[in-house]
C-alpha cells in the first residue's frame, strides 16, 4: 500500500515493527512492574520451569541484539554510515541478571468458577482478561545466589506482593489510529468499496479490532498485520452476509406485493432462466 502525506502515521502503521511496538506499549498500560525497564522482555515462555541454560542463552541473544540496535541508532545520529557489525554486542557479555522472561500464566488472576459452563482451558476458570495474562521474571542476586523473582504482572495495580488484580488500562493513541487507518484502507479494496453499506463494515471491523487487537500472541507470530487484516476481512464478510439475507427478505416481500424486486434479484433470475434454457437445449441435442 502506498503511503500519503495526509497520513503521517501511514508508513509506521503498515510495518509490523511499529505495530508490535504499539501492542507492547498498550499491554504495559494494563500492567505493573517493579521498575520501568522490566517492562521489556527478552523471551516468552509457557512456565518458569522452562527457564534453563538454553533459554537463558536465547534470552541473552535477544537482549544483546536489542542493545546493539539501540547503539546503532545512536551511532547513526553521528555517522549515518555506521553498520550494525561495528557496534554489535556479544551476547556472552550479557549477564544472566540482565535478561527478563515473560511467563504466560493465570496465577495472579482471581478464580471465577462458573464463568463458562463447559471450561476448555485453564483461563476459563479465571476472570476474563482482554489479552492472555503474563508475569515477568528475572534473576536477582540474593545472599550471593541468583534467584528468579517476579518483577512484573499484567492486569495488575500496585506492588508485586501487596497489589491487586486490575483491568483498567487503554491502548495507545497511535495504535487506535492504526486500527482506524487499516479499516479505512481495507474498505477501499476493489472487492469491498462498491457496497453502499461499506461504512457499517468499517464500524464493525473497528469494533472487532478494539476487542481482540491486544490478543495477538507475540510468542507465536511476529506478523500482527496479517492478524488484523484477517479480523477485518471476517467482519466485512459478516456484514455482507447479513445484508444479503436482509435483501432476500425485502425482495420476497416486494414480489408478494406485486412490485419489482432489486436489480440483483432480477439479474439472478434472468441468469437462472438462461441457464435453464441452455440445459434444456443441450438435452434436446443429446436426444437427437
Q: pLDDT tens, 201-210? A: 999 999 999 9
> In the prediction, which pLDDT does 260 show?
79
pLDDT of 4 over the 70 cut: no
Q: How far apart are CA 247 and CA 260, in angstroms?
A: 13
Q: What is the pLDDT of residue 1?
A: 45
Single pTM value for the model: 0.82
Q: In this structure, what DSSP letter does residue 126 have?
A: B
| Pair 108, 156: CB distance under 8 Å | yes
How high is the pLDDT of residue 258?
79
Specify the residue for cell string 495507545: 172
From the list 255, 253, 264, the residue with the least C-alpha distance to 196 is 264
pLDDT at 138 over 50: yes
The arithmetic mean of pLDDT across residues 72-101, rounded, is: 91
Predicted confidence at residue 281, as pLDDT, reads 79
Is 8 a residue whose pLDDT tops 50? Answer: no
Mean pLDDT, range 217-241, rounded to an integer: 93
pLDDT digits (tens, 9 = 90+) for 103-132: 999 999 999 888 888 888 888 889 999 999
Q: What is the pLDDT of residues 164-197, one digit of tens each?
A: 999 999 999 999 999 999 999 999 999 898 888 8
- The cell for 110 is 482471581
Give the model's pLDDT for residue 224.
Answer: 94
Q: Are 56 and 99 in contact (CB under 8 A)?
A: yes
Q: How far is CA 171 from CA 114, 141, 178, 253, in A?
A: 29, 35, 11, 46
Q: Locate cell 517493579: which residue? A: 34
Amino acid at each position: 500500500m502506498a503511503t500519503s502525506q495526509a497520513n503521517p502515521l501511514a508508513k509506521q502503521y503498515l510495518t509490523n515493527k511499529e505495530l508490535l511496538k504499539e501492542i507492547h506499549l498498550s499491554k504495559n498500560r494494563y500492567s505493573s512492574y517493579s521498575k520501568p525497564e522490566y517492562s521489556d522482555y527478552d523471551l516468552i515462555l509457557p512456565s518458569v520451569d522452562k527457564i534453563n541454560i538454553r533459554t537463558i542463552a536465547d534470552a541473552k541473544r535477544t537482549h544483546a541484539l536489542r542493545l546493539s540496535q539501540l547503539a546503532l541508532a545512536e551511532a547513526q545520529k553521528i555517522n549515518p554510515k555506521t553498520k550494525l557489525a561495528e557496534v554489535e554486542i556479544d551476547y556472552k557479555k550479557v549477564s544472566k541478571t540482565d535478561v527478563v522472561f515473560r511467563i504466560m500464566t493465570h496465577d495472579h488472576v482471581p478464580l471465577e468458577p462458573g464463568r463458562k459452563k463447559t471450561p476448555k482451558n485453564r483461563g476459563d476458570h479465571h476472570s476474563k482478561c482482554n489479552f492472555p495474562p503474563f508475569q515477568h521474571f528475572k534473576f536477582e542476586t540474593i545472599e550471593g545466589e541468583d534467584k528468579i523473582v517476579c518483577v512484573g504482572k499484567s492486569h495488575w495495580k500496585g506492588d508485586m506482593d501487596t497489589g491487586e488484580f486490575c483491568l483498567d488500562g487503554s491502548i495507545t493513541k497511535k495504535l487506535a489510529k492504526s486500527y482506524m487507518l487499516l479499516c479505512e484502507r481495507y474498505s477501499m479494496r476493489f472487492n469491498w468499496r462498491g457496497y453502499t453499506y461499506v461504512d457499517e463494515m468499517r464500524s464493525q471491523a473497528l469494533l472487532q479490532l478494539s476487542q481482540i487487537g491486544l490478543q495477538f500472541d507475540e510468542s507465536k507470530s511476529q506478523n500482527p498485520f496479517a492478524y488484523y487484516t484477517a479480523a477485518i476481512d471476517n467482519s466485512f464478510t459478516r456484514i455482507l452476509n447479513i445484508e444479503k439475507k436482509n435483501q432476500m427478505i425485502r425482495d420476497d416481500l416486494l414480489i408478494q406485493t406485486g412490485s419489482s424486486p432489486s436489480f440483483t434479484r432480477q439479474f439472478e433470475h434472468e441468469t437462472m432462466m438462461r441457464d435453464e434454457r441452455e440445459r434444456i437445449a443441450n438435452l434436446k441435442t443429446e436426444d437427437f
